Amino acid sequence: MCVYDVSSLQLRATTKTPGFYLLECSKKTLNLAAKEPSSCFRKSVQRELPPELSLAVLSYLNATDLCLAACVWDTLGNDELLWLSLCKASWGEVSVYDRWQDQPEYSYKRLYLLLDEASLTFNVDPLIGMDYLFRQSLVDDNPVAIANFLHSTKRLNPDMRREFLYKRRDVLHYLIRLQNLHSLFLPTALRQFFSEVSAPGERGSYLTDMIEMFSDQYCRCNPNLGLSKDTVFILCFSLIMLSVDLCSPHVKNKMSKREFIRNTRRAAHEIQDDLAGHLYDNIYLVGHVAIAQKAITEDHTHSYRIIT
């Protein structure tokens, strides 16, 4: 019997079944085998390969490739578990997950298409995109549900997220509450924070509100920190300004460590010299704390800008 030997990706005569080779294949080979099977291999797979292995092969495909594979793999290409995993890989927590199976004829493939349409709409106009989610009963119209959706979704443009959060400070509040800042050094916590909640391109009331909410959450996650919320708030702005000073090519006379310690002690008397020195060293060695994602490009990479 002539079958497609996916371990070498060449046609050759063999008496071994396709499942024998698939068990030893790499993920890359399984992906290729699922997307571009030869007719001989396809017929043999449909006849001899156990459904469990077929699903394992298909699980490495993205949504587009899975739709194409469904033309060959029939029922398995529309398997509900496969489409559910694709949904949760891109939209981790959506209100509709709890009630989707209660619908008369539910389909996770259809749910994926609805969520994909919502994300594309959001990336053009966040308010219209969110309204689409509400009208389709995908996300509940309350700040907690919206924050959970934004926190777990990987398909949204950072600029559009920031525009939406600028208008919905109530959602921003709950989104920051989802941040786990336990035992993180303050500059590290700020970097994690700004990777989740894109920083604005300039200073203003929005940045002030963000830092105030962050300071509150940082103190909540670190109750034994020994610093007040107001002190953390001051330190955050000190670190942002220090980041601009040290990282911006337009600033010629960089702030020294001694100057930073002196200025920080003046603003917050409870800060010890050692702590201020460690903060300075972190910015000097690691870099800016508030790098903001600017946009998602066509190849899904990101470009960045820094708060100034």
Q: Which residues are catalytic?
A: 202
- By CB atoms closer than 10 A (0-12, 13-18, 19+), residue 78 is middle
Tell me the angle at which helices 169-177 and 158-167 cross, rounded to the nearest 10 degrees: 120
Question: Which residue, chain included where needed, has tokens 């930073």?
Answer: 260
Tell me the angle at which helices 51-58 and 27-35 cross, rounded to the nearest 10 degrees: 100
